[in-house]
Amino acid sequence: MWTLVGRGWGCARALAPRATGAALLVAPGPRSAPTLGAAPESWATDRLYSSAEFKEKLDMSRFPVENIRNFSIVAHVDHGKSTLADRLLELTGTIDKTKNNKQVLDKLQVERERGITVKAQTASLFYNCEGKQYLLNLIDTPGHVDFSYEVSRSLSACQGVLLVVDANEGIQAQTVANFFLAFEAQLSVIPVINKIDLKNADPERVENQIEKVFDIPSDECIKISAKLGTNVESVLQAIIERIPPPKVHRKNPLRALVFDSTFDQYRGVIANVALFDGVVSKGDKIVSAHTQKTYEVNEVGVLNPNEQPTHKLYAGQVGYLIAGMKDVTEAQIGDTLCLHKQPVEPLPGFKSAKPMVFAGMYPLDQSEYNNLKSAIEKLTLNDSSVTVHRDSSLALGAGWRLGFLGLLHMEVFNQRLEQEYNASVILTTPTVPYKAVLSSSKLIKARRAVQKNMIFIDQNRVMLKYLFPLNEIVVDFYDSLKSLSSGYASFDYEDAGYQTAELVKMDILLNGNTVEELVTVVHNVKAYRKNVLAKCYGGDITRKMKLLKRQAEGKKKLRKIGNVEVPKDAFIKVLKTQSSK
């Protein structure tokens, strides 16, 4: 008799890791008992790694470097990264298998509400294979282009990626972008074709695309259904076989890279660290390369997927560290931590993110300024791609000018401020940065999109590359593209520098004064004037003069009634309408 694979502890060596799309079949038999740590005989195997007792006794020295695999799951948006992460957590016993395990690593309220990942999340999984105990550090990353900075940072802690591709949609813009991020970082790429259970799935077509576009032999693709759990065990097998262990040295002095951090109001900064060298223990005195300040390590541990203290972390491992950093400026993402008495050369850190969309942010009530300042600082600690500069406005008071990687990023940041920090803010209309050369000449033709190249991925798919003015694409280009192509087209962009264009700064005057928050930069167009003479065919010149005079008087009246104080909520409504356009 044969059964469908559910969960198992034995490693699936007998199964073809490059299985074709069908459900994976294995013969039933006694599962190899897990031998990790000091597990009591009586423990049920399928509860071993999720049990509190096991987690409390976790001894990280049991995982030599050669038994560690650090990997990210990357993909285009919605291709199933978080669902695959759920299955890997279940298969390795990190969480109990229940029907409620839906995108377990998407912990933020905004992620749950929008059904998208916006923050990379780490989880340490323990897996027994052929008598060896493996530590698999998984980082689930966001798929939307606005959060690709999260992906590139996560890759610094990895030696390989699972590149997940939807068996129906095939390669999309972010699949290509993520592949090249991994390729440039010289990581092993394991292509995983997901959603083979879908009626319209065509895994063979996707396999051919992967071979053609990424030059990865089609027989290296693993075909799975993350939703049903089909063939997911082959993914675990491939992680062990195809991703190399990290190249680190435990005997060297400590060198830990801070690749993410969050702020906890009781415990201060919680830094996510990847250890490149050495060992860190509770009680150690450590120094930040960025601030040169010294701290004592209060807690160190792994994310499993919640924080699990372990007393020590060793080179090659990924975990968290709490060292009494109370000020958010003390734990910079990209910082290197070392031991107090053993200074080391800092790791290269990260390229800073380049904001693409700027907007003003003000507290709804000025008395909330300090609270909002502290909330923005804490949130930017967790999202270092946001740039912050102080700003002020006559109408809205003291505030900040924030830079985001895109519109969705801006919306999510705003939502997180409201949900996680209870902040009420006014966001002004987003704009993009311009470099202006003042000139009276109107002669330069405004630039539109310029086609750069066109690549046929297969018979049905084409990749088009254009040079666009940035403000043409950040507002509603993505939505229009999706609706025009019935959802089939996908889109990615990168900064191509500044270009000359015929632009004008459009001031909106209120009582003769420019309102800074309503100023926008637009393509130069002719001023609009209503033709009051449109209906006068030939005839009496005195009638025409009368109409023009009345028009001039009407304009004067407008100026007069312009002498009003605009209530703040009317102002906010105008800004909201502008943003939603």
Ligand X SMILES: Nc1nc2c(ncn2[C@@H]2O[C@H](COP(=O)(O)OP(=O)(O)OP(=O)(O)O)[C@@H](O)[C@H]2O)c(=O)[nH]1
- Residues of this chain that interact with ligand X (CB under 6 A) are 75, 77-83, 103, 116-117, 142-143, 194-195, 197-198, 225-227
Query: In the bound complex, what is the minimum distance in angstroms from residue 58's beta carbon to ligand X?
Result: 27
d(CA 59, CA 135): 12
Query: In the bound complex, what is the minimum distance in angstroms from residue 222's beta carbon to ligand X?
Result: 12
Query: In the bound complex, what is the minimum distance in angstroms from residue 116's beta carbon to ligand X?
Result: 3
Closer of 55 and 144 to ligand X (Cβ): 144
Closer of 90 and 335 to ligand X (Cβ): 90
Sequence-distant (6+) residues with CB within 8 A of 185 are 155, 156, 158
DSSP letters along 415-448, please? HHHHHHH---EEEPPPB--------S---SPPP-
Closer of 34 and 160 to ligand X (Cβ): 160
Closer of 78 and 277 to ligand X (Cβ): 78
Query: In the bound complex, what is the minimum distance in angstroms from residue 579's beta carbon to ligand X?
Result: 23
Closer of 332 and 490 to ligand X (Cβ): 490
Query: In the bound complex, what is the minimum distance in angstroms from residue 473's beta carbon to ligand X?
Result: 20
Backbone φ and ψ for 327, nearest 5 degrees, come out as: -100, 130
Closer of 142 and 170 to ligand X (Cβ): 142
For residue 475, the 8-state DSSP code is T
Query: In the bound complex, what is the minimum distance in angstroms from residue 308's beta carbon to ligand X?
Result: 24
For residue 165, the 8-state DSSP code is E
Query: In the bound complex, what is the minimum distance in angstroms from residue 348's beta carbon to ligand X?
Result: 27
- Coil vs helix vs strand at 338: strand
Query: In the bound complex, what is the minimum distance in angstroms from residue 153's beta carbon to ligand X?
Result: 16
Closer of 146 and 277 to ligand X (Cβ): 146
Cα 553 to Cα 350, 548, 559, 563, distances in angstroms: 61, 9, 10, 16
Strands 357-363 and 425-427: antiparallel
Closer of 179 and 358 to ligand X (Cβ): 179
> Residue of minimal CB distance from ligand X?
143
Report whether 306 contacts 320 (CB < 8 A).
Answer: no
How many C-beta neighbours within 10 Å does residue 273 have? 24
Query: In the bound complex, what is the minimum distance in angstroms from residue 78's beta carbon to ligand X?
Result: 4
Q: What is the number of H-type helices and E-type strands within the chain?
A: 13, 28
Closer of 429 and 490 to ligand X (Cβ): 490
Closer of 230 and 429 to ligand X (Cβ): 230
DSSP letters along 275-318, please? EEESEEETT-EEEETTT--EEE--EEEEESSSEEE-SEEETT-E
| Amino acid sitting at position 325 | M
Report whether 74 contacts 182 (CB < 8 A).
Answer: yes
Query: In the bound complex, what is the minimum distance in angstroms from residue 41's beta carbon to ligand X?
Result: 36
- Coil vs helix vs strand at 566: coil
- Coil vs helix vs strand at 45: helix
**Interior/surface letters 354-371, b for 16+ CB within 10 angstroms, e for the rest:** ebbbbbbbbbeeeebeee
How many C-beta neighbours within 10 Å does residue 49 have? 27
Among 413, 472, 448, 460, CA closest to 110: 413
